[in-house]
Chains A and B, each alone.
Chain A
Amino acid sequence: MMPAADTTAQIAIEQYLGSLRKGMFGVAGRRKRDVCDEIGADLEARIARSQGEYQSVFSNAADPVALGKAMRAVHGISWWLRLLFWIPAPLLGIFSFPMISAFFPAVPTTLFLALGTLLTVSAGAVGGRFAGLVTGLLVAVPRIIWLLVTTVLIEFVQESIGYSSWSVDGGTAFVILLTSILLPIIGFLVGKRVSV
């Protein structure tokens, strides 16, 4: 343990590292431990050099939460957290397709689109540009596939039997395409680089 520091200084270091861990939310556990070990040791050395005046060391130290976020921007989030964002994304994309309501009126497609947007924004905010972009794409691509399949199927039915009670109007298709294109852009832009 730190030779020149008392228990109070150790508690202050642990509090600082606790806030640093909060800032690094989502970073892989081993990486988080390494960063905390490194910064904890450096704080300890500076306190020892200041002859126990630990308050002055902490008053000059960087905001631990902001520092944690900057470290997360360097190392990114863990693969487990990425999968937590990426696994539900295609499902939200599928169920946010507006024409599902024509077959299953109980499905709240707008709610699913809102949840898909929320997931994309969260992925960008927590995981950075790459995570935001991929999550947005994973919500958007099933919507575009749905649109293409639906359009082709309706045309096929119309050509085969000469009649179909369903149709995809240009306005709806445009809105689906626009929202789908916007999702990955939003994810990318939310995940801007963190600077301290």
Chain B
Amino acid sequence: MRKKDPVTELRRGALELGLLAFISKEACFGGGIIIGLAEASNGGLSLTEGALYPALHRLEKNKLLTSDWRDGVDGGRRRKYYLITENGLERLNVLSLAWNELSDGMTALLEGDE
């Protein structure tokens, strides 16, 4: 069995929150999310398609995101844009609060070790 990278696992846990937070600001397509998320998180959430698309489709299936197809730029292929739903916003609030608590707790714990 393949050994899981602990850093990848940690990021995977934050993926849903990261995607919901990013898409809540503006509707975006997959390629744009990869670049935008990496820039907005200072490289902390650098995603590959292998992680992004299944996560987006799972969120859409769970009705936390919705999507629409828009015409591509300069006659390019049409793109699928993701938008956050009411349920998605509620989930984002819950996850944000939990994340802040966790982050404060972990920061205090790790700084206490120094």
Interface residue ranges, A against B (CB under 8 Å): 1-3, 34-35, 37-46, 48, 60-63, 66-67, 70-71, 73-75, 196
Contacts and interface: CB of A to CB of B under 8 A. Distances in A.
Contact of A41 (B48, B61, B80): B80
Interface of B: 29-32, 48-51, 53-54, 57-58, 61, 69, 72-80
A38 B30 CA distance: 8
A157 to B, nearest CB: 52
B103 to A, nearest CB: 25
Nearest to A42: B31
A71 B54 contact: yes
B53 A48 contact: no
Contacts, number: 78
A189 to B, nearest CB: 13
Contacts of B72: 41, 44-45
Contact of A1 (B29, B49, B75, B80): B75
Contacts of B50: 62-63, 66-67, 70, 196
Contacts of B31: 41-43, 45-46
Contacts of B69: 37
The DSSP consensus for interface residues of chain A is helix
The DSSP consensus for interface residues of chain B is helix
Contacts of A73: 54
Nearest to B70: A41
A75 B57 contact: yes
A189 B66 CA distance: 32
Contact of B80 (A2, A37, A44): A37
A44 B31 CA distance: 9
* Top 6 A-B pairs, shortest CB-CB distance: A62-B50, A196-B50, A42-B31, A41-B77, A38-B80, A62-B49
Contact of A74 (B30, B32, B54, B74): B54
Contact of A37 (B49, B54, B73, B77): B77
Contacts of B74: 3
Contacts of B79: 38, 41-42, 45
Nearest to B48: A62
B48 A42 contact: no
B61 to A, nearest CB: 7
A3 B54 contact: no
A1 B76 contact: yes
Contacts of B77: 2, 37, 40-41, 44
Given A71-B57, A73-B54, A41 B78 contact: yes
A3 B96 CA distance: 40
